[in-house]
Structure 1
Amino acid sequence: QVTLFTLCLKSPLPLNFKNCLEKLAKFCTNAFSFCKMEEYLQCMKTLRTQMNDVEDQAAKITAEEQMQITILQNLENEINSVKCQTSHLREEIARILEKRGQICSVILEKQRKIASLEADSSTLNQTLELLQQERNNMSAKLLEKSDYYAKTVKDVTAQLGEQQVIFQGWIRNGKENSWDREHREVMDKIGEETGEFEENQDNMTEILKMNMEDARTKLNQLSELKSKVVMENSQVRRSLELVKSKMTNFKASLREMDSKSLEEEYEALLSDKAGEAEYLQSLQLQIAKLMRISHSIKCSCGEEFKIDMDLCA
C-alpha cells in the first residue's frame, strides 16, 4: 500500500490533484482502520481513473508543447528564408547600382569627348571658312594683279609702238645707240615686273596648297575621331543592352523602378532587417521565458516535486 501511494506521488500530476490525494489518503486510513475492503477497492478504481485522466492531460500538454515547438521552428525557417532572399536582393541592387554608375561615368566621358570633338569640328570649320576667305582674297588680288599687268603690257606695247616710230625716226636721223639704250631699259623693266608677278603667283599657290593640306589632315583626324566615338558609342549601347537583358530576369516591379525608388527600397530592406532582428530577439526572450516556466508540487507526505517546461520533449 505504501509503495503504491509512493508511485502515485512520483508520477507527474496536475496541481488540482493535491486535494484528491489528501482525500484519498484520509479515505485509505479510514478504510484500513475499519477494514472496509470494498471501499478500498472502489477508492483504487477512482485513483486509477484519475491517474488515467492525469496521463491524458499530460499527453495533451506534451502535444501542445510539440505544436508550439513546431510553430517556432517553422517561424525560424521562414525568417532565415526571408533573410536569405533579402541578402540576395540587396546584392542584386548593389550590383545594379554599381553597374549603372559605371555606365553613367562612361556616358559622361563619351559626352565630354563628343563635346571636345564638336569644338574641334567647329574650329576646323572656322579654319576652313578662313581659308576659303583667304583663297577668295588671294584670287581677287591675283585678278587685280593680272588686270594691272595686262594694263602694263598694253602700256608697254603702246610705248613700244611709240619707240618703233621714234626708232624709225632715229634711223633716219642716225641715232641708233640712244634708242638701243632706252629700248634695253624698257625691256628690263618689263622682265622684272613679269618675274615679280610669276614669283608672287608661285608663292601664293604654295601657301594655298599648304593650307589645303593642313585642312585635309585635320579633316582626316576628325573623321578618325568620329569613327572612334561611333565605335565607343556602339560598345556603350551593347553594354546597356546587356544590362537590360540582365534586368529582364528581375521582377517587373523592380525593372519599372528608377534609381531613387531602388535606393528607397534598399533602405526599406535595411529597416526590415532591423525589424527582423528585433522580432528574433523578442522570440528568443519568449523562448527563454518558456524555458523558465516551473512549478513545485508538495505532497502531503512532505516531499516536494518540481515540474519544468522541456522544449526538447
Structure 2
Amino acid sequence: MTATESLQRGQYMGYDISFHPVDMRVVRERVTPFLAGLGRDDDLDDLIAAAVRQAKVRFRANAWGLGVRKASADTDFDTFFYIWGRPFFVTAEEPAAVAETVVRYCDAGVDEVDDLARGQIALLDPTLVKHVEPDSNGTLPDDEHLAIGFRWKLDLLRGAARAVRAGRSTIANGDGDEIFAAGALTGNAQFVLMEFLSALLPGWIERGRVWPSELSERATTDGYAPLGDNRPLLGVLPTEFPSLEWESNWTIHNNYMIGGYAAPSDIRPMRNWLSHNIDALTAVGDQWDDRPYVRKALRKLDESLALAELTGAGFVEAAEIYIPMQGTMN
C-alpha cells in the first residue's frame, strides 16, 4: 500500500473535475504550517469549526435544490448546473451575482439557509416558491464526527512531518498499517490541502476532460497560458523540508490530482482570456465531442473565477475533490 492509496479510494476511468478558488493566505499562514508540524495541535480548530458549520449549510441548501428538482420534474431545471454543478443552491444568472450569493452562503448560519434558498427559487420561478419543500432524505453526521472527517488527514500528515523531523521513516496510518512518512507527506499534501480548503471556500463540479489547462492545450487560442505550476500550493512545506522531493504540476493527467494554478493577480487576465477564446475552447469539445457540454463547463469555470476575483483568491483545477456518485458534494 502506497502513501497515496492509504488516503484515497481507488481510481476512476473518468474524471470528476472541479474548479476552485483558493485562499492563498490560508495556505501560507495556516494550513501548510500546520501540515509542517509547526505551532500547536489546535491551531486549525477555528477553521475546522467553520468547515462543520458550512457542511450543515451546504446540506440544507442542497436539500432545497433537490426539492426544486422534485417540484419542477416537467420543466428544464438543470440538475447538473443547480445541484451537481454550482456550490450550495444558486440560480442567479450573472457570474458576479453567483459569486456574491456563494459568499452569502459561506457566511451564513444554518438558520439563514431557508431564506437564502427561497430567494434563489424566486429568481428561477416566483410561482414555484410555494410548491417547494426541502428534500428530507439523508442525514449528516453529528458535529463531532464531521470535525473528525475534516481533520484526520491533516493530523496524519502533520504526524508524518513530525516523524520526518525526528528521523523516523514510517508512521501508522490509522488502519494498523505502517506507511512511509516522507512519501505520505509529499504525495498527499496538495490534495489534502485542497480537500480541506474546499470545505471553506467551495468549488464548482464538472465531469470529463474539460479542465482549463487541458482545453487550452487542444485549442487554438491567443497564446496566453491561463494556468501555471501549482507549487505555490505547497506553501511553507518545501522551505521546512528542503531535502524532500516535492512534486508539482501545471495540469491534470491522473485521477485524484491537483492541476494548474493561477495566482490572485492572474484571475482577471484569465477571465479575459476565457471570454476572448470561448468559441475556440468550445470547438475542441471533450471526450464525447459534446460542444454544448463544454460551453456549460466554461460558464462554471468563469463563475468560479468570479468568486476568486471577489474574494481575492487564487484558482486551481482538480480531479476527484468532489465525487457526486459517492455523495461528496460542494
Q: TM-score over 0.5 for the alignment?
A: no
Computing the radius of gyration over CA atoms, which structure comes out larger, 1 or 2? 1
More helix by share: 1
Per chain length, whose mean CA-contact separation is higher, i.e. which structure has more relative contact order (CA < 8 Å, sep 6+)? 2
Shorter-chain TM-score range:
under 0.3
Q: Which TM-score applies when normalising by structure 2?
A: 0.21
The structure with more strand, counted as a fraction of residues: 2
